[in-house]
Chain A
Amino acid sequence: MSSRLPPAALSLKQFLQRQKVLAVYRNIFRTIRQVPDEADRKYLRDWAREEFKRNKNATNQDVIRMMISQASNHLEELQKSLALAKS
């Protein structure tokens, strides 16, 4: 996931993928906000940051796509647990 601004311009597909990554990142943070406990929130935020930063330098598009879907799955799980916890 090329997060730093590269010297060369991104192709359209890469640009769109970058937007998807950032959108998933943002949605994860928005969902984390709804977690009731502050310590849990901090832990989840650090975990999300770690995961994204670790894979920051991947360049293969398929690998990036797989990682995006993994992140979306984590996000869905988190949302489902929150919905269950609230009800």
Chain B
Amino acid sequence: MRSLEPLTWILITCLRSSSRVSYNMAARVLQQCVRSLARPSLGLFPVNLALRAAVAPAVTVHRPFSFAADSRRMRWLGQSRISSVELLCRQYGDLPPLTLETIKDRVMYVLKLYDKINPEKIQATSHFMKDLGLDSLDQVEIIMAMEDEFGFEIPDAEAEKLMTPEEIIQYIADKKDVYE
């Protein structure tokens, strides 16, 4: 059983039911799956070719150029059979995984950039108010800078408790499920 079959089945049923939304979505999914295949192993059923050709007019509005490139690529490589294992490689875009080390580096980097903190004196355990002489307004600014750096919001109640870089690192590791 080739793993592309479910997708072509979806496409066929959508064509039959002629429901625009799922048709486009299925076409896009199929297109993406095909595009994600490794180039040398690309080859499809003749049925698929017919379907792709049928899909072409609907999808031309969205991405005409890349679709033409895909169909050209398919014709060149012929109709070689693909192994189902290679069809299963999906590629998603994401950031590199967070570790405690990287979180610590980023937190300390942001703190060193803050103009009210002396970069030599700051350590992981230095308290903002007692050791570094900052006040609560500065602490709010620091937590906002951390929100900007890591891209997620920290609610007020928890933000006002974070008084040392170590606590910030622990909190972020908690929220991001980094192994503790």
A residues in contact (CB < 8 Å) with B:
3-5, 18-19, 22-23, 25-26, 29-30, 33, 49, 52-53, 56
Q: Using Cβ atoms and an 8 Å threshold, which residues of chain A touch B136?
A: 3-5, 18, 22
Given contacts A5-B129, A22-B160, A26-B156, contact A49 B144 (CB under 8 A): no
Residue B148 at the chain A interface, CB threshold 8 Å: yes
Kindly identify which residue among B129, B140, B148 contacts A22, using a CB–CB cutoff of 8 Å.
B140
The B88-115 residues at the A interface (CB cut-off 8 A) are none
B135 touches A29 (CB 8 A): no
Contacting A at CB under 8 A, from B113-139, are 129, 135-137
Contact status A56-B135, CB under 8 Å: yes
Chain A residues with CB under 8 A of B135: 3-4, 56
The A-B contact count (CB < 8 A) is: 33
Say what secondary structure dominates the interface of chain A. Answer: helix
Instruction: For A30, give the chain B residue with the smallest CB separation.
Output: B144
Q: By the criterion CB–CB under 8 Å, are B137 and A52 in contact?
A: yes
Contact A23 B156 (CB under 8 A): yes
Among the listed B129, B140, B148, which residue makes an inter-chain contact with A26, where contact means beta carbons less than 8 Å apart?
Answer: B140
**Nearest 5 CB-CB pairings of A with B:** A3-B135, A3-B136, A4-B135, A29-B144, A26-B140
Instruction: Count contacts on B: residues with CB < 8 A to the other chain.
Output: 11
CB-nearest residue of chain B relative to A27? Answer: B156
- Which residues 145-169 of B have a CB within 8 angstroms of A? 148, 156, 159-160
Quote the shortest CB–CB distance from B147 to chain A (angstroms). Answer: 9
24 contacts between A and B (CB under 8 A): A3-B135, A3-B136, A3-B137, A4-B129, A4-B135, A4-B136, A5-B129, A5-B136, A18-B136, A22-B136, A22-B137, A22-B156, A22-B160, A25-B137, A25-B140, A26-B140, A26-B144, A26-B156, A26-B159, A29-B140, A29-B141, A29-B144, A49-B141, A56-B135
Smallest CB gap from A23: residue in B:
B156
Q: List 15 other contacts, CB 8 Å, given A5-B136, A56-B137.
A: A3-B135, A3-B136, A3-B137, A4-B136, A5-B129, A19-B160, A22-B136, A22-B137, A25-B137, A25-B140, A26-B140, A29-B140, A29-B144, A52-B137, A53-B137
